[in-house]
Amino acid sequence: MLPISRIAAGALAIVLLIGGALVAYSRTATPSRAEASAESAPPPIAVQATHPIVASGIVAPASHVDLRVEQRGIVREVLVREGDMVRAGDPLLRLDTSELELRLAQARANLAAAQASYELLASTATPADIQRAQANLARAQARLREVSGAVTPHARAAAQARLDAARAVLARLEAGPNPADVRALRAELRQAEADLQATRDRLALEKTTLRLQMEQAANLLRDRQTEYARVRDENQARSEPLTAEQRTREISARLAMENAEKALEQARVAYEAALQAERTGIAAAEARVEAARARLDRALTGPDPDQLAAARAAVAQAEDDLARLRGEQRAGAIEAARAEVAIAEAELERLLAGARPAEAALARARVEEAEVALKQAELALERAILRAPIAGVVASLNIKAGEVADPQLIAVRLADVRTWRVETTNLSELSVTRLREGDPAIIRLNSMPGLEIPGKVTGIKPLGTSQDGDVTLYTVFITPDRVDERLRWNMTAQVQITPQHSGQ
């Protein structure tokens, strides 16, 4: 069964077609008295009447663009409002760039360090450089001799402190739960349970309120459908042509019905969102209750065997470390000192021998890598500003300062309102075959009765849209010859197109 709005649109198109045909016939038919008086005149040239095509449509700008941010982030500042005119390149909003600025500073520092390392490696070692390398080697050798000898009091004190801390942890675990901690955990559980009940009550109230709003919207839609059906049936039953008031009343009733349909859909979406919010909100509150209960249970049951085993192992390790420090120096410290000596020797040898080509190439590659990282950081900072790609008006603004911008969602919609066009919504395949680009048309706006704007067909979409499996509708673009400053996006309109080619 076809929707009422489409039936009404089709009925209106049929009535207008019949009216156009009657007007054409009245203009081409010649009274019998005139025929008798013109018997001696040459026969007139027959001209085939081209019936106009009437269709519904919506007003839209000829050019518009939907803008999204390129990266997630918190919106720091929104620089425009709906209705503002902007030029191409103007900033529309800025994300918070604190972290991006830190990354940029880090990238610049990394590049400076890489360049310094490359320049140092590429330069010839001076006598001062060699002297510093020799001094570093002597210092490393002295450190090796130091750690190979007696253990310092500082090392023994540090090992004793680690052992004391490990024993304190073990003693706390073996003593069992702390009464103060248990009281705090029980209070936390009670609060979580209270929050759960409050969440259930609040979300249930929101769901009930939205369900009532949806039912009210459904009742209003039924009233609007009944009113529209009554007005339409009265108009169809009339034998005389409809007056402008009668047509306007039918159009107004249809628009009221369509608005009620939209209101019902919005109420349904809000109700479904409330259902989902109820499920997720209650689930989250229940999870917090379970987490609080689990923490209380763990505190009441005391540490598990794994925790006790880990604490005892830490005590044993600390005792072993202290025992080894009380004897010879740790092997690890000696190995570290030996490694420092080896590094100092290698650096001195490098300065004496000069940089190898492979080392220079590696240093240069690190400089290039740091340059690329800097450009990426600069680009990320630039992308934190959403700019207008075209000049136009801010048609819709779907984000506020402080919100988290999502690259998947439309943040700003821009429209070039210097040129408008009407896009048909109910043009059948039988009608579209009669049209060509350039055919003249008359645009009538439902919101401004009596206003007629001439225009012409400027585009025909080759792909139609199937409706209910047996009706295909096509979109045709009609551009007005002049622009009325009262035009607004998505205004409903009626277009009357006169095909200019014969044979249809």
Cα first-last separation, the chain: 30
Q: Which residues are paired to 492 by β-bridges?
A: 58
User: In the prediction, which pLDDT does 26 show?
Assistant: 42
Q: Does the pTM exceed 0.75? A: no
Tens-digit pLDDT profile for residues 105-145: 888 898 888 888 777 666 666 777 777 878 888 888 777 77
| Rounded Cα distance, 183 and 187, in Å | 6
The answer on pLDDT for 256 being more than 60 is yes
| Rounded Cα distance, 59 and 493, in Å | 7
| Rounded Cα distance, 142 and 145, in Å | 5
| Rounded Cα distance, 86 and 393, in Å | 6
The answer on pLDDT for 213 being more than 70 is yes
Which H or E run contains 434?
none
| Rounded Cα distance, 474 and 17, in Å | 18
The answer on pLDDT for 322 being more than 80 is no
| Rounded Cα distance, 8 and 222, in Å | 16
Strands of 465-467's sheet, edge to edge? 427-428, 471-474, 465-467
| CB-side neighbour CA atoms (13 Å) of 178 | 7
Query: What does DSSP assign to residue 504?
Result: -
* 31-35, 64-68, 81-85, 472-476: least confident range: 31-35
| Rounded Cα distance, 46 and 28, in Å | 9
Closest CA to 484 of 456, 443, 425: 443
The answer on pLDDT for 251 being more than 80 is yes
Handedness of CA 325, 327, 329, 330 (dihedral sign): negative
Mean pLDDT, rounded, for 297-321? 78
Contacts of 405 (CB under 8 A, 6+ apart): 69, 72, 73, 74, 75, 93, 95, 399, 411
The answer on pLDDT for 440 being more than 90 is yes
Query: What does DSSP assign to residue 412?
Result: E
**CB 330, CB 152: distance < 8 Å:** no
Average pLDDT of the chain to the nearest whole number: 80
What domains sit in the chain, N to C, each tagged with a CATH number? 50-91+392-497 (2.40.30.170), 179-302 (1.10.287.620)
Instruction: Specify the 3-state DSSP secondary structure of 490.
Output: coil
Compute φ and ψ for 372, nearest 5 degrees.
-65, -45
The answer on pLDDT for 425 being more than 90 is no
pLDDT band at 353 (very low <50, low <70, confident <90, very high): low
